[in-house]
Structure 1
């Protein structure tokens, strides 16, 4: 077989590049890129020369710019000449900050009188701060000792010239109206050596405050002036005292400052001549020193600079400077007067002037904005206020406690003074003229009253001691007080202005001056005689002469006398204040509120008294009542009742008859369903030796209780194995309980000594159980069905031949249908003990049945339901229980 050339394989060399060569190329490119990054972003080392290296730690101390870490200290070495060199590595992104004029300084915690800085380094450690500067790149620097002043952008730079630097330093604040607006940037001695050049900057937002005519002065430290008037000192602020300070003032009409403007720095405001200069003329300078203050409403607005004598006018001329803020008030009708010391029994004023010297007060005109400015004024000896006062006339019985110049007050506020005291035309009274300030005249009305006011108000009574003291000025000179009642105040609220020309104006009226506020309140009745009232009672009340008489707890009088009346009754005489005479009428009732009423029981002790004063001094109350019953005796005098209830709504009485009084006594309560409806009034024997108990029943309950069929029984404490009842009667005493009947009204009943066995609503189906003995069953022992009480034992007795017992039980009405003719009854009393091989079993129906005894019943369910039992049917009481009885589940519907 021949070979076919077409079937032979042809081997040719491939000219493509293998993909495996891409990996070395990529690695080479990455290497070149990393090399480029290292060259272009290489960190740079700088050398910073410090005098000391305290708190600088290698690899821990950072270099920061605006709070951002830009480098780390890598090495600290000693300088060959002085100090230490700190080599720090600055990160590449911050290398552009390293210029010739860049500054470095160490930030560490510092505290001084002027500042506290670097507190953050207490936790983070000290660090080196960087402030970039200008110039060529640099890597060697000399650290500054302090943080350089940073001048804000666009700040206004100014130069101040001063004779001395005083307390001015770099960083001293610049103030405008006590708001900081800039700082001192540099303090240098002038080339001539005669002045100090102080360069300051004003923040751009405040630069408009500086004018061409602005004046700067020093407010540093404490300015003091010592004279015979005392020590005058001025302290602008605590900051200015410690760190110094500069302030300035600018006229509003001045133009902006020129670029090369230099300002003079004055030592104080007076040297700056920024205040308004005025001239005061006065006749003498007694106790008025140089530098005396000028006050407006207690606020200092200026000061006297110099006092000289003018021989031509024979007056003293006082040159004074006024604060520019008050310059517009210096007009033609402005007033200046001297505030002098006044010390007398009628007046005490400006006592401090004895030490500090007199001062000058100022007040402006109400229309000063429309008046002509003025710079020369006559200094008066006192304020001219004749046109600000209104005269009021009073008449008094005598001048005791009154002095001219004494104050007239209203609620403690001075509204005027006593102007003049003189005798009336007939010389029987004292005429008192008052000067009332016009702004307070609206307080005076036709019904207004005036009374004497003293500095000490002393009251002593059974309630205690009360001492009210006024300021010493009022103690010495006394005064007069204006009193307005509530009705007058309401009228004043609607009428604020009073016409002096009106005939009904109070300023045309002569007011009476009362001796006290109490008599002023009484008004025209203050001098009327009181009303005498006589009360009669069986016993003398616990009151004394002076004990109060109340109407709705408002004192309207007092007890004036205690005596024995001709009728052998006790007589209590009262004096009723004149303004309360209308309270005494035929329908007025009086009752005693003296002493304490105590009601004690297991629930607590209840103490009733009208007031603490009534305990100590006693008291009597009165009321106008349409229900007044026999409020007067036959001779016409008023009756004094023991209580308000007795006076207006006396109790109604009913009687109970008992064979024995047992524990009853007067005061025992009568209760209906737990509510007290009365009490035992008295106990007495009748002719048959029966105890007659009289009950006082509250009127609102009498018709409900006093009905035929009502039952009354004595409730006392009962302690037995079956439980305890009514323990509170051990303290409060026994009480009588009531079960109301439904018959006709009646007032005499036979009392019961024990609670009735069955309440009327519980009388149901009576059944007789026959047994060999009564066992532990007793009266009121319960009857159970499935451990629910359905009745109780109401009686037990021997049968007719004494061969057994009959136990009478009552099944409650709602359970009567449960008793069928084939129902089974067995004792639930005590317990059963079964003993066997497996152990012993103790069975008891309940703890109650164990203590009280009881009877169980059930109905068989293995036969159809039997008819309901009739009343008084007889059943045998089984001796022992059978287990199957407990399993019976006969369904007995109600009504079948």
Structure 2
């Protein structure tokens, strides 16, 4: 058994493996070494920066930045043993690679000047120290610089300028080229000797090619004034240059591009820079041509005379002049310079300002300036010479009064040529006027061109005053010729003159030139007939749309017994007279008086004094001629173009109606009485002319006409205007067939058609003060009126017929109550006397009131001609009923 037990007994075996627990210290050691390594390799670095002063630098708040990124913080500020202060700052580990010997630090704080504003962000975040990396060995001690180092845009050209004085130039001063900003000043420093100013500037990469090795820079700062022929000439390049200064430069095309090492001189102005082109002008006489006189091209200054000397050898004056480099390309052979002098005579007044400021020099480039050779010496002419051969034309006119050789030919106010000569034509009918057109304006002439006289004064008088229109004084005194083209002519147009012998007409005025060749056509003679002789005389004008196209030439009696007026229509306007033309008299004036004032209508002052006849186109099939074919002369345009419709009104008596009394429709005057006669039956017969545009509405069956006159009574006053203007006839249009004869009424209809609504019958013992047209009230609002009143069939009472207006007919219900609203109640008691009345109108005019009880449900609407009792007295409680009655 023991042996068996020994075989199954457990045996303990010893092993030599390491326990896992020992891994924990190893991991901790490795982690500690890693943290130590990170602290050593990524540790922040302290630097010392020397400043002259520590204004606005705060410990633990002032940051150090590079390109806007915070890379450090000020930790300590201490005084330097020598001077200034030392700022101890901690630079973050990721930025320590920038700490080199040439690394620069400077303080950024808000600054504002006329040229720039910087550091505005520090107003909120506080000042900070900026860092600019440099080269060299690693370093931790630095000297701060006073201002930001020069920085220019990428690929910009850095330019060095030298000047005797900085003047108005400072950091930020712009650099211009042809008034476009291309760069700016970045640094202004005195050189070591203190005798000159060194200026650093940059020109942006897009414009750097403009800076040539032969370029010249000059100052354009501030304001410059010069007294010239036009007065005081104030020269200001821009507001920026006035405030902050400015610099510009020339860019010679044949010069090579400048390098960054090139240094340029900065001149005080363009004259000192001698950048302009220098030329010589020779002249025999320099009367009133001063030194400093301007050289102008189309009114723009391009240069100035800098010196004038007399040459004994040439026996001439030699003027030295400088031309702005922008215009130097035009100074070529063939260019012209001439003196613009004062001209003061009866035929010309020119350049009066030269009397005070002196003459000036005008300039015109050669026609082929782009290919012509450069030149530097020119003769100064006394006047401009023709550039190229002129175009000669011949004009024919019947009267050349006011024209002289040498007078100008103008187009839209610009001189394009001159008159060469005047002579009689071979046939003696016309005067031949020879003119020359400058070559630069020859394209304006074509076979459709028209010419007209510019001389003289046109005067037009009317009630509004006198209007005077004249050509320029030069043309007024010496005459001149104008050119008219119906269509604008482009400069690229080719001359269409095919025949050298082509002749043009010279018209008396532009208005006739616009008409064209028909101006020399024979006039059209025609006659117009009228019952009476019009208030015109021989020579009175004939108008078409207020344009004179002819005149009256005579009077006679036609075979038909009518008065004949003969007219002469000018040839160029004869095409305006058509078969359907209408003629009417516009002589004198019309007066219409009323309460609104006196209205006077007249065509013009000329027609009042001299009379006149107008003509226009009429409608097709218009009755504008008599049987013999002569035109009718109407008394007015309305009768000519829109003949009225004549209707007849029959009245029992005239009722103050007169010839001229007006016919009105809703206040509009639509006609007038033209004739008053007695018919065979003793009726007053009134002939009324109704305007054509209103005839279709009023000349219909069912229309009602009545006389409107003043009406004054205790109830009020109506139509007082008729006391001054006279009675008139009112009309209410009907809807029947067309008609021309109607029966007129003395008074307005009791109820107008538009107010016919719900008729009712009120029963009462007596009519009281109620009368026809007395109002019917509901809550003091008139809702109807009394139409009639009569005794009942058995004479036991009175029946009053009332009309409720359509918009109020729904208010009348089967149980509505009516009572008299007229008169008044007088109550006498201890407290005094009480007078009660519905209204002053009802007290004077009478009336009826109604209401509906509110103590019962709303009943059905009343039927037409329903009968109601008119209560003798009213109960005050009725006035308090407030039954709601909606519209159906």
TM-score between the two structures when normalised by the length of structure 2: 0.65
State the match for 1:148 in structure 2.
149
Counterpart secondary structure, 1:215: coil
Match of 2:482 in 1: 482
| Residue in structure 2 matched with residue 654 of structure 1 by the alignment | 648
Which residue of structure 1 lines up, in the alignment, with residue 219 of structure 2? 220
Q: 1:751 to 1:126 in 2, by over 3 A?
A: same
Asked whether the 8 Å contact 1:186–1:199 carries over to 2, the reply is yes
Provide the rounded CA distance (Å) in 2 between the counterparts of 1:750 and 1:233. 83
> Matches of residues 48-127 of structure 1 in structure 2 within 5 Å?
48-50=50-52, 64-67=65-68, 82=83, 84-85=84-85, 87=87, 89-90=89-90, 92=92, 99-107=100-108, 115-118=115-118, 120=120, 123-124=123-124
Q: For 1:789-823, what per-residue CA distance to the aligned partner results, in whole angstroms no more than 9, with x for missing partners?
A: 9999765433566434456789999xx9xx9xxx9
Contact 1:654–1:696 (8 Å) recurs in 2: no
Query: 1:509 offset after TM fit, Å?
Result: 1.9
Q: How much has 1:734 moved relative to structure 2?
A: 5.0
Q: Is the 8 A contact 1:421 1:430 kept in 2?
A: yes
Q: Which runs of 5+ in 1 are unaligned?
A: 1-15, 834-846, 859-864, 887-896
Match of 1:435 in 2: 436
Query: Which secondary structure does the structure 2 equivalent of 1:755 belong to?
Result: coil
Corresponding residue for residue 755 of structure 1: 749
Is 1:735 equivalent to 2:729 in the alignment?
A: yes
Q: Residues of 2 paired with 1:141 and 1:622: CA distance? A: 102
CA separation in 2, counterparts of 1:336 and 1:78?
A: 76
Q: CA deviation at 1:390?
A: 0.6
In structure 2, relative to structure 1, the CA distance for the partners of 1:757 and 1:49 (3 Å cut) is closer
5 Å-filtered alignment, 1:126-525, equals 128-135=129-136, 141-152=142-153, 165-167=164-166, 180-181=182-183, 214-220=213-219, 239=241, 245=247, 247=249, 249=251, 254=256, 265=265, 284=284, 286=286, 298=300, 300=302, 334-341=334-341, 343-345=343-345, 346=347, 355=357, 359=361, 361-366=363-368, 368-369=370-371, 373=373, 375=375, 379=379, 381=381, 383-385=384-386, 387-394=388-395, 401-420=402-421, 432-444=433-445, 448-454=449-455, 459-468=460-469, 478-484=478-484, 489-490=486-487, 496-498=493-495, 500=497, 502=499, 508-509=502-503, 511-512=505-506, 514=508, 516-517=509-510, 525=519
Q: 1:528 to 1:465 in 2, by over 3 A?
A: farther
Instruction: State the distance in 1 between where 2:155 and 2:329 align.
Output: 36
How many residue pairs get aligned? The number is: 814
Q: How far apart, in 1, do the equivalents of 2:113 and 2:322 lie?
A: 37
Residue 757 of structure 2 is aligned to residue 798 of structure 1: no
1:703-752 CA distance string (max 9 Å, x none)? 98778887544456789999999898788755343575969967474645
Say whether the 8 Å CA contact 1:658–1:692 is kept in structure 2.
Answer: no
Name the SS for the 1:433 alignment partner.
strand
1:853 aligns with 2:845: no
SS for the counterpart of 2:151 is: coil
Residue pair 2:586, 2:614 contacting (<8 A) in 1 also? no
1:484-535 residue CA offsets vs partner (Å, 9 max, x unmatched): 3xxx625979995445552xx5x64264463x44565677758988979898
- Give the match for residue 890 of structure 1: none
Q: What is the CA distance between 1:409 and its match in structure 2? A: 0.6
Matches within 5 A, 1:528-567: 549-556=542-549
Contact residue 216 and residue 266 of structure 1 kept, 8 A:
no
What are the Cα deviations for residues 171-226 of structure 1, in whole angstroms up to 9, with x where unaligned?
A: 576666665357576867589x9999877766666666667xx2243413689999
Counterparts in 2 of 1:739 and 1:519: CA distance versus 1, 3 Å: closer
Q: Deviations over 1:673-728 (max 9, x none)?
A: 88765444455678998655454445787798778887544456789999999898
Conserved in 2, the CA contact under 8 Å of 1:294 and 1:301? yes
Following the alignment from structure 2 to structure 1, what is the Cα–Cα distance between the partners of residues 250 and 698? 97
Kindly indicate whether the alpha-carbon contact (under 8 Å) linking 2:790 and 2:799 is maintained by their aligned counterparts in 1. yes
2:856 aligns to what? Answer: none
- Cα distance between partner residues in 2 of 1:760 and 1:153: 89
SS of structure 2 residue aligned to 1:435:
strand
Q: Distance in 2 between matches of 1:48 and 1:761?
A: 105
Q: Which moved more, 1:770-779 or 1:547-556?
A: 770-779
- Cα-to-partner distance string for 1:277-325 (whole Å, 9 max, x where unaligned): 8888x574746888887766556389889989696x9888888887777
CA contact (8 A) 2:60 2:73 kept: yes
Distance change >3 Å, CA 443–CA 539, structure 1 → 2 = same
Q: Could you tell me how far 1:416 is from its partner in structure 2? A: 1.1
- In the alignment, what sits opposite 1:623? 615
Matched, 1:590 2:591: no
